[in-house]
Amino acid sequence: MDSMNTPRPKADYHCPQKDLYIIVKLGWTSYAEFLSDFVAFKTTYDAQLGIDQLAALEAARLLPDETTREDIHKSLRIEMEPMGLECLELWSDMSSYIRDAFPVDQYETKRLAAGWDCYAAAQGEDWEAMSELMSKGVKFVNDHTAVLTTPGGMPATFLQRMTDAAAAFDVKLILFLNAEETAQIQTDAKNAANNALYHTMMDMFEDAKKVFRKQPSVRNQFVFETLRDLVGTTTGGGTSTSMKFYGLVTDSSGNPIVGATISASNSEGSVSTTTGVGGLYSLPIAGITEPTSATLRAEFLEMGAVSRPVTIVAGVNQEQNFQLFPEPTPPTP
């Protein structure tokens, strides 16, 4: 009985999913960087934990997202709409045969027996009501074929047409309902995986507060709110005349680089910022009147710079991550 009352999992983290994934990656990357400190603090910490959590992160990413989950369901609904319209038209035709086949004082009773009580809901795209409407209609025609044919005027092929339409609709309805259930199951799986990532990371973050209590600059790498603010996408797109680039800068080993310079430039000018805690940066750009081409560049000391073309669009934030490699050593003369 307990399992029947278990609520469906909801997101426990207070940020967009894509931000959670960046924060989790940053958190466990920092964990690996300071692994010896964690191991010295608690024997349950080891390198494998970080490896497992990054693997769990990738597994969660691969679970179907909302667009994928809803695609089949929405496609089936689109397919059902013309089928439902055909069912309503056939039932309406049947109603006219009932009118001509029975005395006037029996019309409402017979029409009700044929499913009239489901008609309004079926018109409103209540698909279960549509199925019930057609089931009652087919049964009524089967039970009264003779009188509906003469004097009702029902064509000899009508019963088969109505039976086929009802059967085809029911097949599509089952597929539709199954897709709906599958989407819910996949949503629950995604939420559960994301919550597991979040809670495991937050437990590690709580210990990090103790491990690095005397090292505030390091401790900040394990504060969820600090990382969330640095990612800087919790409010979605910017205003109608602004946007921001954000992301992570790492070295050849995947370690975050603090102090790297990120700049966006074109013929109209340039703006720049530097990476902070965990190698994260946020570069806001204001005064955008129309889409503009620019070059986004990341550089750090002896590391080779990386540049890429970007398009600046008002209200559309963009994640741009960089990996910098040491410049090659010149050959000895």
Q: Residue 218 contacts by C-beta under 8 Å, 6 or more apart in sequence?
A: 34, 212
Q: What's the CA angle centered on 11, arms 9 and 14, to 5 degrees?
A: 160
Of the listed ranges 87-101, 141-155, 209-223, the one predicted with least confidence: 209-223
| Exposure b/e, 89-113, CB count within 10 A at least 16 = b | ebbeebbebbeebbeeeeeeebbeb
pLDDT at residue 2 tops 60: no
* pLDDT at residue 282, as a whole number: 85
Q: How far apart are CA 133 and CA 273, in angstroms?
A: 65
pLDDT of residue 333 exceeding 70: no
What distance lies between CA 15 and its chain's CA centroid? 14
HSE-up of residue 173 (Cα within 13 Å, Cβ side): 19
CB 315 within 8 A of CB 236: no
- pLDDT score of 302: 81
Residue bearing the bigger pLDDT, 1 or 253:
253
Is the pLDDT confidence value at 167 over 60? yes
Q: What is the spatial distance between Cα 163 and Cα 169, in angstroms, rounded to a whole number?
A: 10
Q: Global pTM?
A: 0.53
In eight-state DSSP terms, residue 326 is B
76-98 pLDDT tens trace: 888 999 999 999 999 999 999 99
Task: Please state the domain extents for the chain.
Answer: 1-231, 235-326
Residues with Cβ within 8 Å of 248's Cβ and at least 6 positions away in sequence, in order, are: 22, 25, 26, 256, 275, 278, 279, 280, 281, 321, 322
Which tens digit of pLDDT belongs to each residue from 12-51? 988 888 889 988 988 898 898 899 999 999 999 999 999 9
Which of 57-61, 160-164, 271-275, 312-316 is the least confident region?
Answer: 312-316
CATH class, domain 235-326, is mainly beta
Contact 246, 283 (CB under 8 A): yes
Query: SS3 for 125?
Result: coil
How high is the mean pLDDT of the chain? 87
pLDDT score, position 17: 87
Torsion of CA 243, 247, 249, 254, to 10 degrees: -170
Residue 142 has pLDDT above 70, yes or no: yes
User: What pLDDT is attached to residue 233?
Assistant: 47
Whether the per-residue pLDDT at 237 is higher than 70: the answer is: no
H helical segments located in the chain: 17-33, 35-41, 47-62, 66-101, 107-113, 116-123, 127-143, 145-149, 158-211, 216-219, 224-231
The rounded distance, in Å, linking the Cα atoms of 161 and 170 is: 14
